[in-house]
Amino acid sequence: MAATFTGVGVGIGLSCSTSKILQSKTSPSRSSRYYVKMTVSVEEEKKKSFTLQKSEEIFNAAKELMPGGVNSPVRAFKSVGGQPIVMDSVKGSHMWDVDGNEYIDYVGSWGPAIIGHADDEVLAALAETMKKGTSFGAPCPLENILAEMVIKAVPSIEMVRFVNSGTEACMGVLRLARAFTGKEKIIKFEGCYHGHADPFLVKAGSGVATLGLPDSPGVPQGATYETLTAPYNDIEAIENLFETNKGGIAALILEPVVGNSGFIPPKSDFLHALSRITKENNALLIFDEVMTGFRLSYGGAQEYFGITPDLTTLGKIIGGGLPVGAYGGRREIMEMVAPAGPMYQAGTLSGNPLAMTAGIHTLKRLQKPGSYEYLDKITNQLVQGILDAGKKAGHAMCGGYIAGMFGFFFTEGPVHNFSDAKKSDAAKFARFYRGMLEEGVYFAPSQFEAGFTSLAHTAEDIEQTISAADRVFQRI
């Protein structure tokens, strides 16, 4: 089987230059070969002691208590086989399950853990904040601090509203876009995920894609009637939608780099074209940066690609591991939000001091010089190493990364949209996934999810992961 790696170059961004679509080399680096030789007996030992007995017991009990045994479908192992692993603790780049197995983690709690899990400074700050209480239901100074940090960092945001999840942020921003424009139709892309609110559950990515659900029962037809969809990276399809729905489209929402169909970067002119077309049609451009915000660069995808949308949603990293979301944009739009304006949106725990504290200290760490260069360096090594190992074993693969976000597919590629992503060999991914778990490496249990690195991942973590992949590729 020939392995070819193809991809698109992407426009140069502020700090990290281009999107990295990696070209596989034919031989592994000397250092990884050396590493395999030195560690093979340790790895064999690790595999022998890999049992999931307690995890299975706890998960079997969980299945009787909660639907599917989980509180979010993306945690299910349906597409990779076996059962989800029940975790006991996390620290830095590692996780430990209830049977005592240790994993190098590339899920990072699905994105928030960009400075590493359970960071000492964040935990200390949380302990201090907690002494004053966990929720006031009234304004607190910490909200101002995080709001100022977000406004300073994210080019499109002049005012921000904190909520409790990415889903809430996307729900709020959609209502706001409709309120501001007085129009109702929206465009989203196939395979992009914007949370689980009714209007977005049309050709959605993430767990909806992983579980092969076309749309969800329970979503009334009326809720998705105004949702139009197009393939990602397809400008012509967008032009056609604006043409056939002239004057009716309130907004276009997208993941500026897709993470919910696996990692899919935009083609070089794609985001610029969307910005132009939305402007020409008096529609708002919304970047859903719940995943990419503070991950591709400190100012998110919009800073990285140099494109300023009208509105932005955030989540994950700005809560530093506690439940937070946010939406923001130009002042004239944001002033429509209640109580400044008439568009209603509220939240009992929104802006609570604990979540604000975790966000503030996570962002402070990211501000330190070299953070994104470090993410870029280790993620490059990781993805290149995995692709090289796959190629050496004769697998067709492609993949890429930007800073701390990455992905790879078991297909020659190129992957420009969800249909391309679906060509990936899911059965092979499942075998790879199980093999990597036994080797102590934890990826997202789906081919349709991006992976994440953190400032806590070490060169040794990356080397160990590549060596593990090298062994697993040979036996799948």
Ligand X SMILES: Cc1ncc(COP(=O)(O)O)c(C=O)c1O
Could you give the residue numbers annotated as active site?
193, 288, 316
Token output for 199: 């209007």
Which of 52, 230, 274, 290 touches ligand X by CB under 6 A?
A: 290
Which residues within the stretch 416-445 sit at the binding site for ligand X (CB under 6 A)? none
Kindly tell me which of 172 and 435 has the beta carbon lying closer to ligand X. 172
Q: Does 167 bind ligand X (CB under 6 A)?
A: yes
Q: What is the Cα 398 distance to its own chain's centre? A: 19
CA–CA distance, 283 with 279 (Å, rounded to integer): 6
Q: Does 302 bind ligand X (CB under 6 A)?
A: no
Min separation Cβ 331 and ligand X, Å: 24
Q: Does 165 bind ligand X (CB under 6 A)?
A: yes
Q: Does 194 bind ligand X (CB under 6 A)?
A: yes
Letter string b/e over residues 53-87, b meaning 16 or more CB atoms within 10 A of that residue's CB:
eebbebbeebeeeeeebbeebbbbbbbbebbbbbe
Which of 99, 105, 190, 288 touches ligand X by CB under 6 A?
A: 288
Kindly tell me which of 110 and 294 has the beta carbon lying closer to ligand X. 110
Which of 35, 193, 298, 432 touches ligand X by CB under 6 A?
A: 193
Kindly tell me which of 317 and 398 has the beta carbon lying closer to ligand X. 317
Angle at 304 between CA 298 and CA 305, to 5 degrees: 155
Stretch that binds ligand X, among 129-137, 159-167, 176-184, 208-216 (CB under 6 A): 159-167
Kindly tell me which of 140 and 171 has the beta carbon lying closer to ligand X. 171
CA–CA distance, 450 with 409 (Å, rounded to integer): 10
* DSSP collapsed to 3 states, 311-379: EEEECHHHHCCCCCEEEEECHHHHCCECCCCCECCCCCCCCCHHHHHHHHHHHHHHHCCCHHHHHHHHH
Min separation Cβ 92 and ligand X, Å: 22
Kindly tell me which of 19 and 260 has the beta carbon lying closer to ligand X. 260
Instruction: Count other Cβ atoms within 10 Å, centred on residue 127.
Output: 10
- Residue whose pair of structure tokens reads 């074209």 in the numeric block: 273
Which of 108, 166, 172, 435 touches ligand X by CB under 6 A?
A: 166
Q: Does 76 bind ligand X (CB under 6 A)?
A: no
Kindly state the number of chain residues that form the binding site for ligand X, as judged by CB under 6 A. Answer: 17
Which of 90, 170, 271, 469 touches ligand X by CB under 6 A?
A: 170
Token output for 37: 């030789």
Reduced DSSP (H G I as helix, E B as strand, rest coil) percent helix, strand, coil of the chain, to 5: 40, 15, 45
Kindly tell me which of 288 and 438 has the beta carbon lying closer to ligand X. 288
Which residues within the stretch 241-280 sit at the binding site for ligand X (CB under 6 A)? 255, 259-260
Contact 283, 251 (CB under 8 A): yes
Stretch that binds ligand X, among 32-40, 163-171, 332-340, 408-416 (CB under 6 A): 163-171
Min separation Cβ 461 and ligand X, Å: 23
Min separation Cβ 106 and ligand X, Å: 15
Alpha carbons within 13 A on the beta-carbon side of 427: 0
Min separation Cβ 85 and ligand X, Å: 20
- β-pairing, 185-189 vs 249-254, is parallel
Contact 281, 117 (CB under 8 A): no
Which residues within the stretch 107-136 sit at the binding site for ligand X (CB under 6 A)? 110
Token output for 217: 């029962």
Min separation Cβ 346 and ligand X, Å: 17
Q: Give the CB-nearest residue to ligand X.
A: 166
CA–CA distance, 170 with 387 (Å, rounded to integer): 34
Kindly tell me which of 315 and 399 has the beta carbon lying closer to ligand X. 315
CA–CA distance, 309 with 287 (Å, rounded to integer): 6
Which residues within the stretch 307-366 sit at the binding site for ligand X (CB under 6 A)? 315, 325
Q: Does 449 bind ligand X (CB under 6 A)?
A: no
Q: Does 199 bind ligand X (CB under 6 A)?
A: no
Min separation Cβ 180 and ligand X, Å: 20
Rg of the chain over Cα atoms, rounded to whole angstroms, equals 22
Letter string b/e over residues 203-240, b meaning 16 or more CB atoms within 10 A of that residue's CB:
bbbbbbbbeeeeeeeebeeeebebbbbbbbbbbebbee
Q: Does 382 bind ligand X (CB under 6 A)?
A: no
Kindly tell me which of 201 and 389 has the beta carbon lying closer to ligand X. 201
Angle at 431 between CA 450 and CA 387, to 5 degrees: 55
Chain residues binding ligand X by CB under 6 A are 110, 165-167, 170, 193-195, 206, 255, 259-260, 288, 290-291, 315, 325
